[in-house]
C-alpha cells in the first residue's frame, strides 16, 4: 500500500516537473502580466509596452542563435562581442551608405561565427573554450576598430532603430520575423532536424551519414549573423556606436533565456518559442521590480531562483 | 609454477551488484607468489569488475579479500596501491607533460642537500631503471613524446618500482609491437622470479599459453573454470569462454543453413581488399554477395566490429579498399558508404544508434531526411508514408510514431534502427550484434527479419557472439583472430565446433577439418 502511494506521488511529481518544463515559462509570463495589470500603475500604457518590447528585441534575436547552438550540445559565449564588432563595423563603413554598412556588419558576424564553428567542428576544440577565446578577442578587435563612443547621424540607420510600422517598432517586427524564420528552420527543414539529431547523439548522427561538421559550422555562423544583426539594431537605437560596452554580458542573458525556455543544455531539443518567452520573462521581471522600487540586486536574486527552477525541472525530466 | 604455499591475494566468493545486473556472483580467485594468472572472459563476463574490486575502485557487496592471509577492504585505489597492488590499464595513466624520469620516480625523487630534487641523480636513476626494461630513451623528454608501447613500459616500471606485490595488467599488449611484447614478457618473467604475482587480462590466447601458469574463466559474472593452463585444451578454453558445451555441440552436429544462395550475382555487393590498420586489422579481405548472409566469428577484440566500421568508413584504415557493387569507395566517410548503399547497425544501440531525445518517427527518418525533403524543407507526408510502411513491416510496437524512442523496449529500438537503414533501400547491411540485450521474442523476430532481408536480395554481414545464432543465420562464416581472417567456413563446415576450432588454432596452423 505504502509503496503504491509513494509510486503514485513519484509519478505525479515527475508529471508536474514535465509540465513545468513544457509550459512553465508561458505560465510565468502570463502570471507576471496579470500581476502587473492588477498592481502596477500605468503598466497597461502602450508606451510602456513599446519600451519593454524594444528593449527585449535584441536579446530575443541573440537568444535564437544561442538556442540553435545549445541544441547541438554547444554554447556560444562570443555573441556579446560579436554585437560590439557589428556596432564598430557598421559605423566605420557608414560612409558607403546604410545598407552596405549593414551587410558588412553581418558579414563580420558571420565570419566570427565561422571561426568559432570551424574551431568546434573541424579542430575539435570544446565550444566553451573556442567561443571564450572569441569573446575576448572579438571585443578587443571591436575596440581597436572604434576605440571610443562614436555618434552618427545617418537617417536610414537611425530610422531602423526608431521607426514604427502601424504603431509597432521596426525592431520588434524584425525580432518577430526572425523568430518565425528560426522556428521554420528547426521544425521544417532537413538542416534543423539534423541540428537536433546531432545534439541528441553525435556518434549516431555520424554513423547515419549526417554532415555533422558542416551542420555544426553553419549553426555557429547563424549564431554570429543573428548576434551581428542584434548589434546593428541596438546601435541604431542608441544612435551611437559603443563597442566598449555594447552587448556586455549578452551571452549570459541569452543562455538564461534559452534555459528557462525549456531547451536542455545537453542538446537534442530546441524550443524556439520557449526561448522568446524566456527572454520576455526576464525583461518583465526586471521591469516589474523596478516599477515597484525594488533595487537591482533583487532582480538578480529572483533571476537566479528562476534559472535554478528551470534547470531543476529539466534535470528531473532527463533522469526519468 | 606456484612455489610457496600461501596465496598472496585471495578473493573469496566476491559479489558485486549494479542496478539491474549481478556483475560478480560469488567469484573466488587465488593468486600464489610469483604466479602469472590469466583472467579471461567475453564482454560483460565480469573481468573488469573483478579487477576493479581487487584494485579498490569498487567495493564488493559480499565476500572477502585477503592479502597475505590478512583480510583487507580497500576504500580507494590509493589504499590498494599502498598495500602493494599495482595496476596497468590499457590507457596509460601517467602525466603526459612531465618528463619520463619525473613520471617514473614521482614521489620518490632523490633529494639534494637543500631538499630540492637532485635532477642529475634523478635522470641517472631513471635511465638505469629503464635500461632494465630494454628501454633507452632520453628521460628528460616529456612522457607523451614516447611511443604508446614505451609509455606502457614506463608505467610498468613505475608500478613495479613502488614495492608492488601484485601487478594487474589489463590488455597490456593491445598497442605493443612484437619486440615490445617480448620485452614485456621478459619483465613478467623477472617479476615471477622475484615472487611478484601477476594477473594478466587478455584475449590473445597465444600470449596466455606463453606466459600464464593458471587461468580463471569468467562467464556471466560467475567462475566458469579455474585451474592450471598447461594441459587445458584451447578448444576447451574457448568453449568455456563462449559458454557452449563441446559435447552438446557435437551431439547437435551441423545446423547448417537451409537456404542456398541461389541467384547470387557474380559481382559481390560488398567487397574489401586488404583492409589494414596497425594493431587492429591485418589484411582483411571479405566478399558479401547478393542475398547472402556472411557471418563474422571470433572472440572479443578479434577485429569483427572494427572490420564493419572500416567498411562503412567510421574508422580510418592504413591500407586496403572497399568496393560496393563493383565500384571502389574513393573518399572514406560514412556518408559516402551510405550513399553507395552500405550501412551499419552498431553494436552499442544506445551510444551509437538511437537519438534518445527524438521520436520513433524522427529516428527512422534520420538518415533518409535529405531524400524525404524538397529544397531542404522536409515533407511530412513522405516521412509519414515511409515511417508507416516500416513500422508495419518490422512490427515496431510503439504507442504512436511520435513516442520518444528512448521509451521503447530494446528490441523495438533495434527495429527502429533497422527501419532507418531499410528506408535508404541499401544494397548491404552490416549488423553488429543485432540481438544483444533484447528479449527472447524480439530476438527471434530480428533473426527472422535478417533471413527475410537476405531473401529479398540484400547482402548481410552478421557479427554475433552467439554462436548458435551465427551458425543458423549464416551461409558462410569468416573467423577472425587478432585482426586477421584465419578461416573461411562454408556449406557443411558452418558449425559451432568448426568456428571454435578456428579460433583455437595456433598461428600459422590451419584448423583441422
Nearest to A201 among B354, B378, B420 (CB): B354
Q: By three-state DSSP, how is residue B329 classified?
A: coil
pTM: 0.74
Interatomic CA distance for residues B483 and B367, integer angstroms? 30
Nearest to A203 among B338, B351, B370 (CB): B351
Identify the closest residue of chain A to B405 by CA–CA distance. A200
Whole-number pLDDT of residue A41 = 80
Nearest to B376 among A189, A199, A269 (CB): A189
Identify the closest residue of chain A to B373 by CA–CA distance. A190
Over range A37-63, report the average pLDDT.
88
Query: B55 CB contacts (<8 Å, ≥6 apart)?
Result: B74, B77, B80, B81, B85, B87, B168
Over range A12-23, report the average pLDDT.
77
Instruction: Return the DSSP state at B379.
Output: -
Rounded to the nearest angstrom, the minimum Cα separation between A214 and chain B is: 12
Q: Are residues B416 and B445 in the same domain?
A: no
Least confident range from A33-42, A207-216, B427-436: namely: A33-42
Interatomic CA distance for residues B297 and A28, integer angstroms? 59
Over range A18-41, report the average pLDDT.
86
Whole-number pLDDT of residue B150 = 79
Q: Per-residue b/e over B205-238, b at no fewer than 16 CB within 10 Å? A: bebbbebbbbbbbbbebebbbbeebeebebbebb
Grid look-up 620516480 returns B105
Q: By three-state DSSP, how is residue B459 classified?
A: strand
Residue B140 lies in a domain: yes
Q: Are residues B121 and B212 in the same domain?
A: no
Residue A9 scores a pLDDT above 80:
no
Residue B239 lies in a domain: no
Domain span at residue B105? 93-162
- Stretch 254-273 of chain A: residues touching chain B, C-beta under 8 Å: 267-269
Helix (H) / strand (E) containing B21: strand B21-31
Whole-number pLDDT of residue B249 = 53
Nearest to B358 among A188, A189, A200 (CB): A200
* Mutation for testing the A interface, residue in B329, B352, B374 having most A CBs under 10 Å: B352
Identify the closest residue of chain B to A189 by CA–CA distance. B377
Q: Are residues B436 and B472 in the same domain?
A: yes
Residue B114 lies in a domain: yes
Q: Are residues B79 and B176 in the same domain?
A: yes
Q: Are residues B188 and B301 in the same domain?
A: no
Question: Which residue ranges in chain B fall short of pLDDT 50?
Answer: 1-3, 250-265, 509-513
Interatomic CA distance for residues A14 and A4, integer angstroms? 15
Residue B243 lies in a domain: no
Residue B237 lies in a domain: no
Q: Are residues B61 and B5 in the same domain?
A: yes
Q: Are residues B325 and B433 in the same domain?
A: yes
Whole-number pLDDT of residue A127 = 96
Residue A73, phi-psi category: left (phi > 0), alpha (psi -120 to 50), beta (remainder): left
Tally of CB atoms within 10 A around B69 = 9
Name all domains of chain A by residue range, CATH numbers in brackets: 47-303 (1.10.3470)
> Radius of gyration of chain A from Cα atoms?
20
pLDDT band at A8 (very low <50, low <70, confident <90, very high): low
Q: Are residues B49 and B198 in the same domain?
A: yes
Rounded to the nearest angstrom, the minimum Cα separation between B63 and chain A is: 31
Q: Which CATH number goes with the domain that contains B178?
A: 3.40.50.300
Angle, CA A84 vertex, CA A82 and CA A88 arms, to 5°: 115
Q: Are residues B491 and B385 in the same domain?
A: no
- Copy the grid coordinates of residue B88: 596497468
pLDDT band at A320 (very low <50, low <70, confident <90, very high): very low
Over range A129-151, report the average pLDDT.
95
Q: Are residues B366 and B223 in the same domain?
A: no
Examine the fold and report which residue of B147, B162, B177 is the final residue of a domain before the chain moves on: B162
Whole-number pLDDT of residue A80 = 96
Residue B321 lies in a domain: yes
Q: Are residues B6 and B44 in the same domain?
A: yes
* Mutation for testing the B interface, residue in A191, A201, A214, A265 having most B CBs under 10 Å: A201
Examine the fold and report which residue of B133, B162, B191 is the final residue of a domain before the chain moves on: B162
CB contact under 8 A, B355 and A203: no
C-alpha distance across the termini of chain A, in Å? 23
Residue B54 lies in a domain: yes
Residue B466 lies in a domain: yes
Examine the fold and report which residue of B392, B409, B425 is the final residue of a domain before the chain moves on: B425
Contact B321, B274 (CB under 8 A): yes
Interatomic CA distance for residues B149 and B279, integer angstroms? 12
Query: A111 CB contacts (<8 Å, ≥6 apart)?
Result: A224
Number of domains in chain B: 4
Highest mean pLDDT pick, A275-284, A286-295, B149-158, B205-214:
A275-284
Rounded to the nearest angstrom, the minimum Cα separation between B384 and chain A is: 14
Q: Are residues B188 and B297 in the same domain?
A: no
Alpha carbon distances (Å) from A312 to A22, A32, B16, B210, B408: 13, 21, 32, 56, 25
Amino acid at each position: 500500500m505504502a509503496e503504491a502511494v509513494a509510486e503514485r506521488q513519484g509519478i505525479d511529481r515527475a508529471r508536474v516537473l514535465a509540465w513545468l518544463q513544457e509550459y512553465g515559462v508561458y505560465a510565468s509570463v502570463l502570471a507576471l502580466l496579470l500581476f502587473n495589470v492588477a498592481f502596477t500603475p500605468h503598466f497597461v500604457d502602450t508606451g510602456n509596452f513599446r519600451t519593454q518590447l524594444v528593449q527585449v528585441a535584441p536579446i530575443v534575436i541573440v537568444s535564437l542563435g544561442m538556442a540553435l547552438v545549445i541544441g547541438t550540445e554547444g554554447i556560444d559565449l562570443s555573441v556579446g562581442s560579436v554585437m560590439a564588432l557589428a556596432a564598430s563595423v557598421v559605423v566605420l563603413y557608414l560612409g558607403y551608405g546604410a545598407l552596405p554598412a549593414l551587410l558588412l556588419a553581418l558579414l563580420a558576424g558571420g565570419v566570427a561565427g565561422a571561426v568559432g564553428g570551424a574551431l568546434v567542428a573541424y579542430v575539435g576544440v570544446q565550444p566553451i573554450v573556442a567561443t571564450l577565446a572569441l569573446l575576448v578577442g572579438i571585443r578587443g578587435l571591436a575596440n581597436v576598430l572604434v576605440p571610443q563612443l562614436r555618434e552618427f547621424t545617418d537617417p536610414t540607420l537611425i530610422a531602423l532603430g526608431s521607426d514604427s510600422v502601424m504603431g509597432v517598432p521596426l525592431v520588434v517586427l524584425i525580432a518577430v520575423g526572425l523568430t518565425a524564420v528560426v522556428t521554420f528552420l528547426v521544425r521544417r527543414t532537413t538542416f534543423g532536424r539534423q541540428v537536433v539529431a546531432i545534439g541528441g547523439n553525435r556518434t549516431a548522427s555520424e554513423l547515419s551519414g549526417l554532415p555533422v561538421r558542416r551542420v555544426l559550422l553553419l549553426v555557429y555562423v547563424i549564431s554570429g549573423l543573428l548576434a551581428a544583426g542584434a548589434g546593428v539594431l541596438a546601435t541604431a537605437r542608441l544612435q551611437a556606436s559603443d563597442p566598449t560596452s555594447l552587448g556586455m554580458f549578452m551571452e549570459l542573458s541569452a543562455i538564461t533565456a534559452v534555459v528557462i525556455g525549456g531547451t536542455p543544455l545537453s542538446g537534442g531539443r530546441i524550443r524556439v518559442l520557449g526561448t522568446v518567452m524566456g527572454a520576455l520573462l526576464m525583461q518583465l521581471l526586471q521591469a516589474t521590480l523596478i516599477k515597484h522600487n525594488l533595487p537591482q540586486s533583487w532582480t538578480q536574486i529572483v533571476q537566479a531562483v528562476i534559472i535554478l527552477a528551470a534547470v531543476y525541472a529539466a534535470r528531473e525530466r532527463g533522469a526519468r | 609454477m606456484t612455489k610457496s604455499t600461501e596465496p598472496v591475494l585471495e578473493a573469496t566468493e566476491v559479489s558485486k551488484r549494479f542496478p539491474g545486473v549481478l556483475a560478480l556472483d560469488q567469484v573466488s580467485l587465488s593468486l600464489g607468489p610469483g604466479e602469472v594468472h590469466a583472467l579471461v572472459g567475453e564482454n560483460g563476463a565480469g573481468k573488469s569488475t573483478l579487477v576493479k574490486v581487487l584494485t579498490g575502485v569498487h567495493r564488493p557487496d559480499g565476500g572477502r579479500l585477503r592479502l597475505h592471509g590478512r583480510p583487507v577492504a580497500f576504500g580507494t585505489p590509493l589504499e590498494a596501491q599502498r598495500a602493494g597492488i599495482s595496476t596497468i590499464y590499457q590507457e596509460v595513466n601517467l602525466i603526459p607533460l612531465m618528463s619520463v624520469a619525473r613520471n617514473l620516480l614521482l614521489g620518490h625523487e632523490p633529494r639534494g642537500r637543500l631538499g630540492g630534487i637532485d635532477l642529475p641523480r634523478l635522470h641517472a636513476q631513471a635511465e638505469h631503471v629503464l635500461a632494465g626494461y630494454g628501454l633507452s630513451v632520453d628521460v628528460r623528454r616529456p612522457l607523451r613524446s614516447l611511443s604508446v608501447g614505451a609509455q606502457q613500459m614506463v608505467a610498468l616500471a613505475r608500478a613495479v618500482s613502488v614495492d608492488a606485490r601484485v601487478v594487474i595488467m589489463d590488455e597490456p599488449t593491445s598497442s605493443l609491437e612484437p619486440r615490445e611484447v617480448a620485452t614485456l614478457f621478459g619483465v613478467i618473467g623477472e617479476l615471477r622470479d622475484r615472487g611478484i604475482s601477476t594477473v594478466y587480462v587478455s584475449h590473445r590466447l597465444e600470449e596466455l599459453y606463453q606466459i600464464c601458469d593458471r587461468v580463471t574463466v569468467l562467464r556471466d559474472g560467475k567462475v566458469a573454470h579455474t585451474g592450471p593452463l598447461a594441459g587445458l585444451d584451447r578448444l576447451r578454453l574457448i568453449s568455456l569462454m563462449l559458454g557452449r558445451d563441446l559435447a552438446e555441440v557435437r551431439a547437435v552436429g551441423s545446423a547448417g543453413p537451409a537456404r542456398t544462395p541461389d541467384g547470387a550475382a557474380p559481382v559481390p555487393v560488398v567487397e574489401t581488399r586488404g583492409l589494414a590498420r596497425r594493431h587492429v586489422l591485418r589484411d582483411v579481405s571479405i566478399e558479401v554477395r547478393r542475398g547472402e548472409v556472411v557471418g563474422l566469428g571470433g572472440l572479443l577484440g578479434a577485429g569483427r566490429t572494427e572490420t564493419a566500421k572500416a567498411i562503412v568508413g567510421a574508422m580510418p584504415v592504413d591500407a586496403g579498399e572497399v568496393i560496393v557493387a563493383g565500384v571502389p569507395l574513393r573518399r572514406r566517410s560514412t556518408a559516402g558508404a551510405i550513399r553507395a548503399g552500405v550501412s551499419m547497425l552498431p553494436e552499442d544501440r544506445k551510444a551509437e544508434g538511437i537519438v534518445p531525445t527524438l521520436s520513433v518517427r524522427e529516428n527512422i527518418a534520420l538518415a533518409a531526411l535529405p531524400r524525404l525533403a524538397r529544397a531542404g524543407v522536409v515533407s511530412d507526408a513522405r516521412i509519414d508514408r515511409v515511417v508507416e510502411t516500416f513500422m508495419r513491416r518490422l512490427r515496431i510496437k510503439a504507442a504512436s510514431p511520435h513516442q520518444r524512442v528512448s521509451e521503447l523496449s530494446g528490441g523495438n529500438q533495434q527495429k527502429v534502427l533497422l527501419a532507418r537503414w531499410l528506408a535508404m533501400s541499401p544494397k548491404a547491411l552490416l549488423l553488429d550484434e543485432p540481438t544483444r540485450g533484447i528479449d527472447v521474442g524480439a530476438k527471434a523476430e530480428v533473426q527472422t527479419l535478417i533471413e527475410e532481408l537476405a531473401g529479398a536480395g540484400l547482402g548481410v554481414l552478421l557479427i554475433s557472439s552467439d554462436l548458435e545464432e551465427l551458425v543458423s543465420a549464416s551461409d558462410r562464416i569468416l573467423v577472425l583472430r587478432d585482426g586477421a581472417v584465419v578461416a573461411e567456413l562454408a556449406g557443411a563446415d558452418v558449425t559451432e565446433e568448426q568456428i571454435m576450432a578456428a579460433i583455437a588454432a595456433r598461428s600459422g596452423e590451419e584448423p583441422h577439418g
